[in-house]
């Protein structure tokens, strides 16, 4: 493989050598909400994975940029992937429109949905975004039931349980539904690098729990570099990681939430899933149906293998600060999981 590789992803972003140009490209990936703030750069990054042969970029007809335009633009990149745009009418059920873009997919990434504005919580997005997610996930159940479905749309803590229950009701594997919490890890790594002066590429802080407020639980004691930070600095670092999303929402002043760092993180996640599917088991913390705590959904380290989620790892050893945080995280997470389960009961 020629060129620079993207060290965080097991799949590489390097330009492929000529001999490898078509032979290793095997996967089809769909990005729903692909013309949006996250969707466009995420589609680009996935189109740059040399193991990807086709990327579907799907969005609604009134998207800011037509999906076919995003596809035409990305179709000129010097990578093996073919990029195809699909525009759908939001007044028609998604399941009636998504057959072509989803059929044959190995990985579906879903950043379709409303972002926060200053003053809002992620939970405030639930009513509108759960409906959008349901449309897409129902179509995944029908057209690519074996694909790994990475839910980026917020609130992840409630939408993932709702969609995993939808899969269960259809007799499908709920572990195909995965909440993407990678941005929390990326943030924790960067903030630790800033404090310690070390390279972020040598830091890998596990972030467990969920993806909102106190449920975002970085485990600084488990990374050799972050473990060297003095205990008095940890609460502020923890809080900054929890509030990373709000930091961006406020800085964007009503014009959206994290898009570029999320696209980077979504691609880091997506490339790891594809590496696993290709036969190289790869770890990433992710929010899934779980029995590592008494909660039915929880984010902890997951190994992605040939069929997707292969192993869900235990939390590991926590120090006393982290044990207190775990309790706090689980209390809030329980309420947010229950909201998703209630939604599934009456809507799925
Ligand atoms: P955006 O508004 O820029 O893009 C969303 C896109 O979804 C738009 O192009 C819109 O047309 C499209 N869309 C709406 N309904 C659709 C449907 N039924 N089918 C397909 N596409 C549809 O928003 P964004 O900044 O890209 O954020 C998207 C979502 O991701 C938000 O819910 C946001 O909160 C969430 N998010 C999650 C994380 C995370 O860490 N998991 C990080 C950042 C943002
Ligand atoms: C984030 O963490 O950046 C996302 O969940 C978006 C948000 O609303 O904060």
Give distance in angstroms: CA of 315 to centre of ligand 2. 23
Give distance in angstroms: CA of 257 to centre of ligand 1. 10
pLDDT band per the 50, 70, 90 thresholds, residue 13: low
Give distance in angstroms: CA of 88 to centre of ligand 1. 15
Give distance in angstroms: CA of 196 to centre of ligand 2. 25
Question: Which atom of ligand 1 is found nearest the CA of 258?
Answer: 43
Separation CA 331–CA 346 (nearest Å): 24
CA distances from 290 to 261, 286, 299, 301, 312 (A): 27, 10, 8, 11, 7
Give distance in angstroms: CA of 225 to centre of ligand 1. 34
Tell which one of 56, 112, 159 to mutate to probe ligand 1, the residue whose CB is within 8 A of the most ligand atoms.
112
**ipTM of the complex, rounded to two decimals:** 0.99
Tell which one of 257, 259, 266 to mutate to probe ligand 2, the residue whose CB is within 8 A of the most ligand atoms.
257
Separation CA 168–CA 304 (nearest Å): 20
Check residue 55 and report its DSSP letter: E
pLDDT in tens, 172-225: 999 999 999 999 999 999 999 999 999 999 999 999 999 999 999 999 999 999
Check residue 297 and report its DSSP letter: E
pLDDT in tens, 54-105: 999 999 999 999 999 999 999 999 999 999 999 999 999 999 999 999 999 9
Question: Which atom of ligand 1 is found nearest the CA of 184?
Answer: 40
Q: Does ligand 1 lie within 6 Å of residue 31's CB atom?
A: no
The DSSP line for 79-110 is SS-EEEEEEE-TTS-GGGT-HHHHTT-SEEEE
Q: Verify whether residue 76 is a known catalytic residue.
A: no
Question: Which atom of ligand 1 is found nearest the CA of 259?
Answer: 25
Task: State CA 234 to chain mean position distance.
Answer: 26
Mean pLDDT of the 275-290 span: 98
Q: Does ligand 1 lie within 6 Å of residue 32's CB atom?
A: yes
Mean pLDDT of the 226-238 span: 98
- In this structure, the residue with its CA closest to atom 1 of ligand 2 is 245
pLDDT in tens, 296-315: 999 999 999 999 999 999 99
CA distances from 183 to 152, 269, 316 (A): 10, 9, 21
The average confidence (pLDDT) of the chain is 94
Catalytic, out of 7, 76, 211, 313: 211
Residue 8 has pLDDT above 80, yes or no: no
Whole-number percent of the chain with pLDDT over 90: 93
State the ligand closest to the CA atom of 113.
Answer: 1
Question: Which atom of ligand 2 is found nearest the CA of 156?
Answer: 5
Question: Which atom of ligand 2 is found nearest the CA of 246?
Answer: 9
Tell which one of 182, 254, 258 to mutate to probe ligand 2, the residue whose CB is within 8 A of the most ligand atoms.
258
Query: Which pair of tokens denotes residue 205?
Result: 């802080």
**Residue 10 pLDDT:** 44
Q: Does ligand 1 lie within 6 Å of residue 204's CB atom?
A: no
**Residue 25 pLDDT:** 82
Lining residues, ligand 2, CB within 6 Å: 116, 122, 154, 183, 244-246, 248-249, 257-258
């Amino acid at each position: 493989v020629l060129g620079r590789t993207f060290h965080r992803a097991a799949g590489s972003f390097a330009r492929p050598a000529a001999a490898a140009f078509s032979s290793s490209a095997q996967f089809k990936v769909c990005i729903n909400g692909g013309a949006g703030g996250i969707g466009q750069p995420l589609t680009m990054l996935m189109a740059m994975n040399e193991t990807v042969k086709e990327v579907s970029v799907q969005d609604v007809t009134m998207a800011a940029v037509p999906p076919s335009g995003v596809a035409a633009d990305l179709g000129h990149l010097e990578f093996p992937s073919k990029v195809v745009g699909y525009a759908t009418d939001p007044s028609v059920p998604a399941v009636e429109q998504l057959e072509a873009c989803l059929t044959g997919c190995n990985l579906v990434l879903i950043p379709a949905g409303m972002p926060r504005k200053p003053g809002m919580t992620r939970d405030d997005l639930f009513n509108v975004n759960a409906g959008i997610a349901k449309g897409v996930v129902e179509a995944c159940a029908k057209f690519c039931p074996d694909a790994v479905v990475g839910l980026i749309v917020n609130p992840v803590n409630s939408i993932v349980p709702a969609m995993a229950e939808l899969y269960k009701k259809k007799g499908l594997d709920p572990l195909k539904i995965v909440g993407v919490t990678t941005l929390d890890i990326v943030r924790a790594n960067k903030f630790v690098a800033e404090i310690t002066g070390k390279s972020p590429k040598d830091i890998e802080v596990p972030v467990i729990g969920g993806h909102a407020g106190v449920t975002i639980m970085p485990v600084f004691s488990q990374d050799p570099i972050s473990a060297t930070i003095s205990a008095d600095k940890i609460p502020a670092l923890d809080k900054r990681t929890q509030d990373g999303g709000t930091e961006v929402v406020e800085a964007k002043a009503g014009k959206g939430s994290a898009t570029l760092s999320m696209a980077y993180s979504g691609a880091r996640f997506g490339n790891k899933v594809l590496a696993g599917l290709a036969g190289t088991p790869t770890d990433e913390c992710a929010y899934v149906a779980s029995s590592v705590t008494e909660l039915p959904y929880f984010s902890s380290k997951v190994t992605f293998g040939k069929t997707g989620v292969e192993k869900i790892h235990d939390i590991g050893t926590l120090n006393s600060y982290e044990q207190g945080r775990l309790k706090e995280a689980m209390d809030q997470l329980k309420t947010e999981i229950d909201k998703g389960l209630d939604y599934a009961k009456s809507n799925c």
